[in-house]
Chain A
Protein backbone atom coordinates (compact mmCIF):
# COMPACT_ATOMS: atom_id res chain seq x y z
CA UNK A 1 0.00 0.00 0.00
CA UNK A 2 2.68 2.50 1.04
CA UNK A 3 5.00 3.31 -1.83
CA UNK A 4 8.05 4.26 0.20
CA UNK A 5 10.46 5.03 -2.67
CA UNK A 6 7.86 7.40 -4.18
CA UNK A 7 7.25 9.10 -0.83
CA UNK A 8 11.00 9.51 -0.24
CA UNK A 9 11.48 10.94 -3.73
CA UNK A 10 8.56 13.34 -3.23
CA UNK A 11 9.87 14.42 0.16
CA UNK A 12 13.33 15.15 -1.30
CA UNK A 13 11.83 17.31 -4.05
CA UNK A 14 9.54 19.15 -1.64
CA UNK A 15 12.32 19.76 0.87
CA UNK A 16 14.36 21.32 -1.93
CA UNK A 17 11.60 23.95 -2.18
CA UNK A 18 11.64 24.78 1.54
CA UNK A 19 14.30 27.52 1.11
CA UNK A 20 11.97 29.34 -1.33
CA UNK A 21 9.10 29.12 1.16
CA UNK A 22 11.37 30.35 3.95
CA UNK A 23 12.66 33.22 1.80
CA UNK A 24 9.10 34.29 0.99
CA UNK A 25 8.26 34.07 4.68
CA UNK A 26 11.35 35.83 6.03
CA UNK A 27 11.37 38.70 3.53
CA UNK A 28 7.64 39.38 3.75
CA UNK A 29 7.45 39.16 7.56
CA UNK A 30 10.38 41.53 8.04
CA UNK A 31 9.14 43.94 5.38
CA UNK A 32 5.64 43.75 6.83
CA UNK A 33 6.93 44.42 10.35
CA UNK A 34 8.70 47.61 9.24
CA UNK A 35 5.54 48.74 7.46
CA UNK A 36 3.42 47.82 10.49
CA UNK A 37 5.60 49.85 12.86
CA UNK A 38 5.10 52.90 10.64
CA UNK A 39 1.35 52.31 10.39
CA UNK A 40 0.98 51.73 14.14
CA UNK A 41 2.88 54.96 14.89
CA UNK A 42 0.56 56.81 12.49
CA UNK A 43 -2.46 55.30 14.25
CA UNK A 44 -1.36 56.35 17.74
CA UNK A 45 -0.01 59.75 16.66
CA UNK A 46 -3.31 61.51 17.40
CA UNK A 47 -2.92 63.46 14.15
CA UNK A 48 -5.95 62.86 11.88
CA UNK A 49 -3.87 63.40 8.73
CA UNK A 50 -1.68 60.47 9.75
CA UNK A 51 -4.37 58.39 11.43
CA UNK A 52 -6.92 58.43 8.59
CA UNK A 53 -4.67 57.06 5.81
CA UNK A 54 -3.34 54.36 8.13
CA UNK A 55 -6.90 53.41 9.09
CA UNK A 56 -7.90 53.19 5.41
CA UNK A 57 -4.87 51.07 4.60
CA UNK A 58 -5.62 48.63 7.41
CA UNK A 59 -9.30 48.46 6.43
CA UNK A 60 -8.53 47.60 2.81
CA UNK A 61 -5.76 45.07 3.42
CA UNK A 62 -7.52 43.26 6.26
CA UNK A 63 -10.92 43.31 4.61
CA UNK A 64 -10.08 41.63 1.31
CA UNK A 65 -8.51 38.25 0.59
CA UNK A 66 -4.75 38.11 0.12
CA UNK A 67 -5.22 36.16 -3.11
CA UNK A 68 -7.01 39.04 -4.83
CA UNK A 69 -4.35 41.48 -3.59
CA UNK A 70 -1.65 39.25 -5.02
CA UNK A 71 -3.43 38.92 -8.38
CA UNK A 72 -4.03 42.66 -8.49
CA UNK A 73 -0.32 43.31 -8.06
CA UNK A 74 0.91 40.58 -10.39
CA UNK A 75 -1.67 40.54 -13.20
CA UNK A 76 -3.39 43.88 -12.60
CA UNK A 77 -0.45 46.28 -12.72
CA UNK A 78 1.27 44.62 -15.67
CA UNK A 79 -1.77 45.44 -17.77
CA UNK A 80 -0.60 49.05 -18.12
CA UNK A 81 2.11 49.84 -20.68
CA UNK A 82 3.30 52.67 -18.42
CA UNK A 83 4.13 50.12 -15.72
CA UNK A 84 5.80 47.79 -18.22
CA UNK A 85 8.11 50.59 -19.33
CA UNK A 86 8.87 51.92 -15.86
CA UNK A 87 11.82 51.30 -13.57
CA UNK A 88 9.61 49.03 -11.42
CA UNK A 89 9.04 46.50 -14.19
CA UNK A 90 11.97 44.17 -13.41
CA UNK A 91 10.41 43.77 -9.95
CA UNK A 92 6.76 43.57 -10.96
CA UNK A 93 7.54 41.08 -13.71
CA UNK A 94 9.03 38.66 -11.22
CA UNK A 95 6.47 36.38 -9.52
CA UNK A 96 8.66 35.87 -6.44
CA UNK A 97 9.06 39.63 -5.90
CA UNK A 98 5.34 40.22 -6.46
CA UNK A 99 4.36 37.46 -4.04
CA UNK A 100 6.77 38.79 -1.41
CA UNK A 101 5.52 42.37 -1.79
CA UNK A 102 1.84 41.43 -1.56
CA UNK A 103 2.48 39.17 1.44
CA UNK A 104 4.33 42.03 3.15
CA UNK A 105 1.63 44.59 2.33
CA UNK A 106 -1.04 42.29 3.72
CA UNK A 107 0.71 41.31 6.94
CA UNK A 108 1.59 44.98 7.44
CA UNK A 109 -2.09 45.77 7.89
CA UNK A 110 -2.70 42.95 10.37
CA UNK A 111 0.50 43.49 12.35
CA UNK A 112 -0.11 47.27 12.57
CA UNK A 113 -3.23 46.69 14.68
CA UNK A 114 -1.40 44.15 16.85
CA UNK A 115 1.47 46.60 17.44
CA UNK A 116 -1.00 49.41 18.11
CA UNK A 117 -2.61 47.28 20.83
CA UNK A 118 0.83 46.70 22.30
CA UNK A 119 1.70 50.41 22.29
CA UNK A 120 -1.63 51.32 23.90
CA UNK A 121 -1.01 48.79 26.66
CA UNK A 122 2.11 50.60 27.86
CA UNK A 123 1.14 52.05 31.26
CA UNK A 124 1.02 55.86 31.27
CA UNK A 125 2.93 55.98 34.56
CA UNK A 126 5.97 54.33 33.00
CA UNK A 127 6.04 56.93 30.24
CA UNK A 128 5.52 59.72 32.81
CA UNK A 129 8.31 58.39 34.96
CA UNK A 130 10.65 58.31 31.98
CA UNK A 131 9.65 61.83 30.97
CA UNK A 132 10.13 63.13 34.49
CA UNK A 133 13.76 62.12 34.43
CA UNK A 134 14.10 63.85 31.07
CA UNK A 135 13.83 60.94 28.66
CA UNK A 136 12.04 61.66 25.40
CA UNK A 137 11.92 60.93 21.69
CA UNK A 138 13.80 57.96 20.30
CA UNK A 139 15.33 57.04 23.65
CA UNK A 140 11.88 56.89 25.28
CA UNK A 141 10.60 54.65 22.50
CA UNK A 142 13.68 52.46 22.47
CA UNK A 143 14.03 51.97 26.22
CA UNK A 144 10.47 52.14 27.57
CA UNK A 145 7.67 51.97 25.03
CA UNK A 146 9.03 49.48 22.47
CA UNK A 147 10.12 46.74 24.91
CA UNK A 148 6.85 46.83 26.89
CA UNK A 149 4.74 47.04 23.72
CA UNK A 150 6.63 44.17 22.09
CA UNK A 151 6.16 41.98 25.14
CA UNK A 152 2.41 42.64 25.11
CA UNK A 153 2.06 42.17 21.35
CA UNK A 154 4.14 39.02 20.99
CA UNK A 155 1.44 36.38 21.69
CA UNK A 156 -0.90 37.89 19.08
CA UNK A 157 1.98 38.51 16.70
CA UNK A 158 3.09 34.89 16.90
CA UNK A 159 -0.34 33.88 15.59
CA UNK A 160 0.09 36.32 12.72
CA UNK A 161 3.52 34.83 11.95
CA UNK A 162 2.07 31.31 11.77
CA UNK A 163 -0.67 32.59 9.46
CA UNK A 164 2.07 34.04 7.25
CA UNK A 165 3.84 30.68 6.92
CA UNK A 166 0.57 29.29 5.62
CA UNK A 167 -0.04 32.28 3.37
CA UNK A 168 3.19 31.67 1.47
CA UNK A 169 1.35 28.74 -0.17
CA UNK A 170 -0.64 31.26 -2.22
CA UNK A 171 2.53 32.21 -4.07
CA UNK A 172 2.13 28.92 -5.96
CA UNK A 173 -0.87 30.50 -7.72
CA UNK A 174 1.35 33.18 -9.28
CA UNK A 175 3.85 30.47 -10.38
CA UNK A 176 6.42 30.65 -7.57
CA UNK A 177 7.94 27.21 -7.05
CA UNK A 178 7.68 27.02 -3.29
CA UNK A 179 6.55 23.87 -1.45
CA UNK A 180 2.89 23.92 -2.59
CA UNK A 181 3.86 24.85 -6.15
CA UNK A 182 6.36 22.01 -6.38
CA UNK A 183 3.75 19.65 -4.89
CA UNK A 184 1.36 20.59 -7.68
CA UNK A 185 4.03 20.07 -10.30
CA UNK A 186 4.74 16.56 -8.97
CA UNK A 187 1.01 15.79 -9.03
CA UNK A 188 0.71 16.98 -12.63
CA UNK A 189 3.37 14.41 -13.54
CA UNK A 190 2.22 11.52 -11.34
CA UNK A 191 -1.52 12.05 -10.66
CA UNK A 192 -0.97 10.96 -7.05
CA UNK A 193 -2.52 13.94 -5.33
CA UNK A 194 -3.14 12.58 -1.83
CA UNK A 195 0.36 11.29 -1.07
CA UNK A 196 2.05 14.44 -2.37
CA UNK A 197 -0.28 16.88 -0.62
CA UNK A 198 0.07 14.98 2.65
CA UNK A 199 3.87 15.21 2.39
CA UNK A 200 3.57 18.96 1.80
CA UNK A 201 1.17 19.33 4.73
CA UNK A 202 3.68 17.55 6.96
CA UNK A 203 6.42 19.99 5.94
CA UNK A 204 4.24 23.00 6.82
CA UNK A 205 3.32 21.47 10.18
CA UNK A 206 6.98 20.94 11.07
CA UNK A 207 7.90 24.47 9.91
CA UNK A 208 5.10 25.97 12.01
CA UNK A 209 6.08 23.89 15.00
CA UNK A 210 9.68 25.11 14.83
CA UNK A 211 8.66 28.75 14.35
CA UNK A 212 6.16 28.55 17.23
CA UNK A 213 8.94 27.17 19.48
CA UNK A 214 11.28 30.02 18.50
CA UNK A 215 8.63 32.66 19.27
CA UNK A 216 7.84 30.95 22.59
CA UNK A 217 11.54 31.11 23.44
CA UNK A 218 11.66 34.85 22.65
CA UNK A 219 8.55 35.35 24.77
CA UNK A 220 10.22 33.51 27.64
CA UNK A 221 13.38 35.61 27.34
CA UNK A 222 11.38 38.84 27.29
CA UNK A 223 9.35 38.12 30.41
CA UNK A 224 11.76 37.37 33.25
CA UNK A 225 9.51 39.42 35.57
CA UNK A 226 6.69 36.87 35.17
CA UNK A 227 8.77 33.86 36.12
CA UNK A 228 8.87 32.61 39.72
CA UNK A 229 11.94 33.84 41.57
CA UNK A 230 14.76 31.36 41.86
CA UNK A 231 14.45 29.64 45.22
CA UNK A 232 17.12 31.56 47.15
CA UNK A 233 16.35 29.97 50.52
CA UNK A 234 17.21 26.52 49.18
CA UNK A 235 20.51 27.82 47.82
CA UNK A 236 21.27 29.52 51.14
CA UNK A 237 20.64 26.35 53.14
CA UNK A 238 22.85 24.44 50.74
CA UNK A 239 25.61 27.01 51.22
CA UNK A 240 25.28 26.93 54.99
CA UNK A 241 25.55 23.15 55.05
Chain B
Protein backbone atom coordinates (compact mmCIF):
# COMPACT_ATOMS: atom_id res chain seq x y z
CA UNK B 1 0.00 0.00 0.00
CA UNK B 2 2.76 2.37 0.97
CA UNK B 3 4.57 1.45 -2.23
CA UNK B 4 1.54 2.30 -4.34
CA UNK B 5 1.33 5.68 -2.60
CA UNK B 6 4.98 6.41 -3.43
CA UNK B 7 4.58 5.83 -7.14
CA UNK B 8 1.00 7.15 -7.21
CA UNK B 9 -0.29 10.59 -8.01
CA UNK B 10 -1.49 11.62 -4.51
CA UNK B 11 0.41 13.73 -1.99
CA UNK B 12 3.86 12.29 -1.38
CA UNK B 13 3.56 10.29 -4.59
CA UNK B 14 6.17 10.61 -7.31
CA UNK B 15 3.83 9.55 -10.12
CA UNK B 16 3.25 13.00 -11.61
CA UNK B 17 6.96 13.88 -11.51
CA UNK B 18 7.92 10.57 -13.12
CA UNK B 19 5.43 11.11 -15.93
CA UNK B 20 6.76 14.65 -16.36
CA UNK B 21 10.26 13.15 -16.48
CA UNK B 22 9.18 10.72 -19.18
CA UNK B 23 7.70 13.63 -21.16
CA UNK B 24 11.01 15.49 -20.80
CA UNK B 25 12.91 12.41 -22.02
CA UNK B 26 10.59 12.29 -25.03
CA UNK B 27 11.12 16.01 -25.69
CA UNK B 28 14.93 15.75 -25.47
CA UNK B 29 14.91 12.79 -27.85
CA UNK B 30 12.61 14.57 -30.29
CA UNK B 31 14.89 17.63 -30.22
CA UNK B 32 17.92 15.39 -30.70
CA UNK B 33 16.28 13.64 -33.66
CA UNK B 34 15.60 17.03 -35.30
CA UNK B 35 19.15 18.30 -34.69
CA UNK B 36 20.48 14.97 -35.94
CA UNK B 37 18.31 15.10 -39.09
CA UNK B 38 19.84 18.45 -40.10
CA UNK B 39 23.40 17.41 -39.23
CA UNK B 40 22.89 13.95 -40.72
CA UNK B 41 21.68 15.33 -44.05
CA UNK B 42 24.66 17.69 -44.22
CA UNK B 43 27.16 14.99 -43.30
CA UNK B 44 25.61 12.45 -45.68
CA UNK B 45 25.79 15.03 -48.49
CA UNK B 46 29.44 15.66 -47.61
CA UNK B 47 30.22 11.93 -47.62
CA UNK B 48 28.58 11.47 -51.03
CA UNK B 49 30.12 14.60 -52.51
CA UNK B 50 32.67 14.68 -55.31
CA UNK B 51 34.94 16.92 -53.27
CA UNK B 52 37.67 15.01 -51.46
CA UNK B 53 37.84 17.51 -48.61
CA UNK B 54 34.09 17.25 -47.98
CA UNK B 55 34.34 13.46 -47.93
CA UNK B 56 37.20 13.54 -45.43
CA UNK B 57 35.32 15.97 -43.18
CA UNK B 58 32.18 13.84 -43.36
CA UNK B 59 34.11 10.67 -42.53
CA UNK B 60 35.86 12.43 -39.65
CA UNK B 61 32.51 13.50 -38.21
CA UNK B 62 30.98 10.03 -38.25
CA UNK B 63 34.18 8.39 -36.97
CA UNK B 64 34.54 10.79 -34.04
CA UNK B 65 30.92 10.88 -32.90
CA UNK B 66 30.39 7.15 -33.27
CA UNK B 67 33.69 6.38 -31.55
CA UNK B 68 33.64 8.64 -28.48
CA UNK B 69 31.49 7.62 -25.48
CA UNK B 70 28.11 9.37 -25.42
CA UNK B 71 28.77 10.48 -21.86
CA UNK B 72 31.92 12.34 -22.95
CA UNK B 73 30.07 14.06 -25.80
CA UNK B 74 27.44 15.24 -23.34
CA UNK B 75 30.08 16.54 -20.91
CA UNK B 76 31.98 18.21 -23.76
CA UNK B 77 28.94 20.04 -25.11
CA UNK B 78 27.68 21.00 -21.65
CA UNK B 79 30.99 22.29 -20.26
CA UNK B 80 32.29 23.53 -23.60
CA UNK B 81 29.05 25.36 -24.28
CA UNK B 82 29.07 26.92 -20.84
CA UNK B 83 32.68 28.05 -21.25
CA UNK B 84 31.82 29.58 -24.61
CA UNK B 85 28.69 31.24 -23.24
CA UNK B 86 30.63 32.71 -20.29
CA UNK B 87 33.27 34.09 -22.65
CA UNK B 88 30.52 35.58 -24.84
CA UNK B 89 28.83 37.14 -21.82
CA UNK B 90 32.12 38.66 -20.72
CA UNK B 91 32.47 40.19 -24.20
CA UNK B 92 29.21 42.02 -23.58
CA UNK B 93 30.35 43.12 -20.12
CA UNK B 94 28.48 40.48 -18.12
CA UNK B 95 30.15 38.96 -15.07
CA UNK B 96 30.08 35.49 -13.55
CA UNK B 97 29.38 32.02 -14.87
CA UNK B 98 26.85 31.45 -17.63
CA UNK B 99 25.70 27.85 -17.85
CA UNK B 100 24.20 26.19 -20.91
CA UNK B 101 20.51 25.44 -20.38
CA UNK B 102 20.48 21.70 -19.67
CA UNK B 103 17.71 20.97 -22.18
CA UNK B 104 19.50 22.75 -25.02
CA UNK B 105 22.87 21.17 -24.32
CA UNK B 106 21.24 17.75 -23.89
CA UNK B 107 19.29 17.87 -27.14
CA UNK B 108 22.37 19.26 -28.89
CA UNK B 109 24.70 16.57 -27.52
CA UNK B 110 22.42 13.63 -28.27
CA UNK B 111 21.59 15.33 -31.59
CA UNK B 112 25.26 15.52 -32.57
CA UNK B 113 25.57 11.78 -31.88
CA UNK B 114 22.29 11.12 -33.67
CA UNK B 115 23.58 13.06 -36.67
CA UNK B 116 26.52 10.70 -37.06
CA UNK B 117 24.23 7.66 -37.14
CA UNK B 118 21.58 9.37 -39.29
CA UNK B 119 24.24 10.36 -41.82
CA UNK B 120 25.01 6.68 -42.41
CA UNK B 121 21.31 5.88 -42.71
CA UNK B 122 20.70 8.62 -45.30
CA UNK B 123 23.84 7.73 -47.22
CA UNK B 124 22.80 4.12 -47.54
CA UNK B 125 19.24 5.10 -48.50
CA UNK B 126 20.42 7.51 -51.17
CA UNK B 127 22.57 4.79 -52.72
CA UNK B 128 19.47 2.56 -52.81
CA UNK B 129 17.52 5.03 -54.96
CA UNK B 130 17.46 3.74 -58.54
CA UNK B 131 20.00 5.48 -60.76
CA UNK B 132 17.61 5.16 -63.70
CA UNK B 133 14.98 7.24 -61.95
CA UNK B 134 17.42 10.09 -61.38
CA UNK B 135 18.56 9.89 -65.01
CA UNK B 136 14.96 9.87 -66.21
CA UNK B 137 14.15 12.95 -64.13
CA UNK B 138 17.21 14.70 -65.48
CA UNK B 139 16.32 13.67 -69.03
CA UNK B 140 12.94 15.41 -68.90
CA UNK B 141 14.67 18.50 -67.56
CA UNK B 142 13.69 18.47 -63.89
CA UNK B 143 15.70 21.08 -61.96
CA UNK B 144 17.78 19.98 -58.95
CA UNK B 145 15.38 21.07 -56.21
CA UNK B 146 12.32 19.55 -57.86
CA UNK B 147 14.25 16.36 -58.46
CA UNK B 148 15.19 16.26 -54.78
CA UNK B 149 11.62 16.93 -53.67
CA UNK B 150 9.83 14.55 -56.03
CA UNK B 151 12.29 11.73 -56.64
CA UNK B 152 15.08 11.66 -54.05
CA UNK B 153 13.47 12.72 -50.76
CA UNK B 154 10.40 10.43 -50.78
CA UNK B 155 12.44 7.36 -51.65
CA UNK B 156 15.27 8.18 -49.26
CA UNK B 157 12.70 8.60 -46.49
CA UNK B 158 11.18 5.26 -47.33
CA UNK B 159 14.47 3.38 -47.33
CA UNK B 160 15.67 5.31 -44.27
CA UNK B 161 12.66 4.63 -42.07
CA UNK B 162 13.83 1.32 -40.51
CA UNK B 163 17.27 2.81 -39.85
CA UNK B 164 15.73 5.93 -38.34
CA UNK B 165 13.65 3.76 -36.03
CA UNK B 166 16.89 2.22 -34.77
CA UNK B 167 18.51 5.64 -34.33
CA UNK B 168 15.44 6.86 -32.41
CA UNK B 169 15.69 3.95 -29.97
CA UNK B 170 19.41 4.63 -29.55
CA UNK B 171 18.77 8.33 -28.85
CA UNK B 172 15.99 7.54 -26.42
CA UNK B 173 18.38 5.46 -24.34
CA UNK B 174 21.28 7.92 -24.74
CA UNK B 175 19.06 10.71 -23.43
CA UNK B 176 19.21 9.02 -20.00
CA UNK B 177 22.83 10.19 -19.82
CA UNK B 178 21.73 13.83 -20.03
CA UNK B 179 20.73 13.32 -16.37
CA UNK B 180 24.36 14.07 -15.45
CA UNK B 181 23.78 17.74 -16.38
CA UNK B 182 20.88 17.94 -13.92
CA UNK B 183 18.03 18.01 -16.44
CA UNK B 184 14.91 16.56 -14.78
CA UNK B 185 14.24 13.86 -17.36
CA UNK B 186 13.16 10.33 -16.51
CA UNK B 187 16.53 9.04 -15.30
CA UNK B 188 17.21 12.09 -13.14
CA UNK B 189 13.68 12.05 -11.68
CA UNK B 190 14.02 8.34 -10.83
CA UNK B 191 17.33 9.12 -9.13
CA UNK B 192 15.81 11.95 -7.12
CA UNK B 193 12.83 9.84 -6.09
CA UNK B 194 15.12 6.95 -5.15
CA UNK B 195 17.44 9.18 -3.17
CA UNK B 196 14.83 11.06 -1.18
CA UNK B 197 12.76 7.99 -0.26
CA UNK B 198 15.66 5.50 0.01
CA UNK B 199 13.58 3.13 -2.11
CA UNK B 200 16.26 2.72 -4.76
CA UNK B 201 15.11 -0.63 -6.09
CA UNK B 202 11.50 0.46 -6.47
CA UNK B 203 12.18 3.68 -8.33
CA UNK B 204 14.82 2.28 -10.66
CA UNK B 205 12.43 -0.53 -11.58
CA UNK B 206 9.61 1.97 -12.17
CA UNK B 207 11.94 4.27 -14.14
CA UNK B 208 13.16 1.36 -16.24
CA UNK B 209 9.58 0.25 -16.88
CA UNK B 210 8.68 3.75 -18.08
CA UNK B 211 11.63 3.62 -20.49
CA UNK B 212 10.27 0.29 -21.75
CA UNK B 213 6.90 1.94 -22.32
CA UNK B 214 8.56 4.76 -24.28
CA UNK B 215 10.70 2.45 -26.42
CA UNK B 216 7.94 -0.04 -27.22
CA UNK B 217 5.26 2.56 -27.95
CA UNK B 218 7.54 4.54 -30.25
CA UNK B 219 8.72 1.30 -31.84
CA UNK B 220 5.12 0.57 -32.73
CA UNK B 221 4.75 4.03 -34.31
CA UNK B 222 7.76 3.38 -36.52
CA UNK B 223 6.43 -0.05 -37.46
CA UNK B 224 3.08 1.33 -38.58
CA UNK B 225 4.79 4.17 -40.48
CA UNK B 226 6.82 1.53 -42.28
CA UNK B 227 3.67 -0.42 -43.10
CA UNK B 228 2.05 2.72 -44.53
CA UNK B 229 5.11 3.49 -46.60
CA UNK B 230 5.08 -0.04 -47.96
CA UNK B 231 1.47 0.54 -49.08
CA UNK B 232 2.26 3.77 -50.94
CA UNK B 233 5.19 2.11 -52.66
CA UNK B 234 3.59 -1.17 -53.75
CA UNK B 235 6.72 -2.78 -55.06
CA UNK B 236 8.88 -5.74 -54.26
CA UNK B 237 11.89 -5.67 -51.97
CA UNK B 238 14.05 -2.67 -52.80
CA UNK B 239 13.93 -1.31 -56.31
CA UNK B 240 12.97 -3.31 -59.34
Which residues of A are in contact with B by a Cβ distance under 8 Å?
59-60, 63-69, 71-72, 75-80, 162, 165-170, 172-173, 180, 183, 193-194, 197-198, 200-201, 204-205, 208-209
Whether A205 pairs with B76 at a CB distance below 8 angstroms is no
Which of A68, A72, A76, A169 is in CB contact (< 8 Å) with B72?
Answer: A169
Closest A residue, CB atoms, query B80? A194
CB distance from A109 to the nearest CB of B (A): 12
Contact of A79 among B180, B187, B200, B207 (CB under 8 A): B200
- Determine if A180 and B208 form an interchain contact, defined as CB atoms under 8 angstroms apart: no
A55-B176 Cα distance, complex, nearest whole Å: 24
CB distance A71 to B76 under 8 Å? no
List 14 additional contacts besides A66-B173, A204-B68; criterion CB under 8 Å: A65-B177, A69-B208, A72-B208, A75-B194, A79-B200, A165-B69, A168-B69, A170-B71, A193-B76, A197-B72, A197-B76, A201-B72, A204-B69, A208-B67
CB-based contact A68/B68 at 8 Å: no
Q: A60: which B residues are within 8 A, CB to CB?
A: 208, 212
Give the dominant DSSP class at B's interface. helix
Chain B nearest Cβ from A53, distance in angstroms: 16
CB of B94 within 8 Å of the partner chain: no
A76 near B69: Cβ-Cβ < 8 Å:
no
Given A201-B68, A204-B69, A204-B72, are A68 and B211 neighbors across the interface (CB < 8 Å)? yes
Instruction: Decide: A68 near B63, CB < 8 A? Known: A194-B76, A194-B83, A204-B68.
Output: no
B198 within 8 A of A: yes
- B199–A72 contact, CB under 8 A? no
Kindly provide the distance from the CB of B1 to the nearest chain A CB, expressed in whole angstroms. 19
Cβ–Cβ contact A79 & B212, under 8 A: no
Find the A residue at minimum CB distance from B204: A72
Is A209 touching B176 in the complex (CB atoms < 8 A)? Answer: no
- A–B Cβ pairs within 8 angstroms, 30 of them: A63-B215, A65-B176, A65-B187, A68-B207, A71-B204, A72-B201, A72-B205, A72-B208, A76-B194, A79-B200, A162-B67, A165-B69, A168-B69, A169-B70, A169-B71, A170-B69, A180-B69, A194-B76, A194-B80, A194-B83, A197-B72, A197-B75, A197-B76, A200-B72, A201-B68, A204-B69, A205-B63, A205-B64, A205-B68, A209-B67
Cβ-defined partner of B67 (8 Å) among A80, A168, A193, A205: A205
| A172 to B204 CA separation, bound complex (whole angstroms) | 18
Q: Give the distance in Å from the alpha carbon of A84 to the alpha carbon of B196 in the complex.
A: 21
**Residues on the B chain within 8 Å of A64, using CB:** 173, 208-209, 211-212, 215
